[in-house]
């Protein structure tokens, strides 16, 4: 199994099945957006209307980040922006959500860290809302154990679980916004029987990462692989599938 660190957890029984470097503090890239979504969902008001700004569009472009391809001037709801953030890993959507629900990203990030503390994520620090390497490559960090705790908490939310389980999402054009179609970057949903989410991540510092969950025969397994190379985007999915196969054979 190729990964710097990781963990596999039986969410049904609460038993930890496997771990490597479970308390190693590492960058987690766009897995950060799981916490961004949790803060938005905890605030409610998912019908809140948010205008796409040129700054949000430029933010994703200037950082060569994952993008939902948002168009400046469009007005979208928070519900729609959650799809744009979680499926194609849109930094532009994350930028808008953090700005609206902070209000302002500094206040929003404080809310992220407060929620992490409430969940007992004692080896986690969020410096921003999307896991991009600023102010420095290691500003946002977590551990496999903390990431699994976060993932398990997020998947208890029906709205979050529905969104991350979608292979794609189509938003028809209206007078208020252009049309969009967002494909989920989590290829495990297409490749692994029983996969139900949840989030990919990549930066050069973090390598290719994946927080994942699958359900078979009434058992839910949740796990994470961090830094599964920074050269092969498919390796994280292979590593996750190998772990899940190993885990399901033992429960």
Please give the positions annotated as active site.
Answer: 30, 33, 89
CA dist., res. 65 & res. 95, Å (int): 11
Residue whose token pair is 């994952």: 66
Tokens for 32, please give them: 């950060």
DSSP at 6: E
Tokens for 53, please give them: 């700004």
**How many Å separate Cα 206 from the centre of its chain?**
14
The alpha helices in 26-90, defined as continuous H runs, are 32-43, 54-62, 78-86
Instruction: Please enumerate in sequence order all residues whose Cβ is within 8 A of that of 62, keeping only pairs 6 or more positions apart, or say none.
Output: none
Residue whose token pair is 């961090």: 226
CA dist., res. 151 & res. 158, Å (int): 13
Tokens for 64, please give them: 């060569």
Compute φ and ψ for 13, nearest 5 degrees.
-105, -15
The alpha helices in 87-142, defined as continuous H runs, are 91-101, 105-118
Q: Is 168 helix (H, G, I), strand (E, B) or coil?
A: strand
DSSP at 52: P
């Amino acid at each position: 199994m190729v990964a710097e660190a990781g963990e596999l957890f039986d969410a049904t029984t609460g038993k930890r099945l496997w771990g490597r470097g479970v308390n190693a503090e590492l960058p987690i890239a766009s897995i950060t957006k799981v916490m961004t979504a949790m803060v938005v969902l905890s605030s409610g008001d998912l019908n809140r209307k948010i205008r796409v700004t040129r700054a949000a569009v430029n933010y994703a472009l200037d950082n060569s980040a994952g993008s939902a391809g948002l168009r400046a001037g469009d007005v979208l709801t928070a519900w729609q922006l959650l799809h744009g953030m979680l499926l194609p890993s849109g930094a532009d959507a994350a930028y808008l959500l953090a700005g609206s629900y902070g209000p302002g990203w500094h206040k929003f990030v404080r809310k992220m860290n407060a929620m992490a503390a409430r969940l007992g994520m004692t080896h986690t620090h969020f410096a921003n809302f999307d896991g991009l390497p600023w102010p420095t490559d290691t500003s946002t960090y977590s551990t496999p154990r903390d990431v699994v705790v976060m993932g398990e908490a997020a998947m208890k939310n029906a709205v979050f679980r529905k969104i991350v389980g979608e292979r794609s999402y189509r938003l028809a054009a209206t007078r208020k916004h252009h049309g969009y179609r967002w494909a989920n970057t989590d290829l495990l949903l297409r490749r692994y029987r029983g996969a139900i989410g949840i989030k990919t991540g990549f930066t050069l510092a973090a390598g290719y990462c994946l927080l994942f969950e699958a359900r078979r025969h009434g058992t839910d397994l949740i796990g994470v692989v961090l830094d599964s190379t920074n050269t092969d985007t498919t390796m994280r999915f292979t590593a996750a599938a190998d772990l899940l196969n190993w885990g399901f054979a033992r429960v």
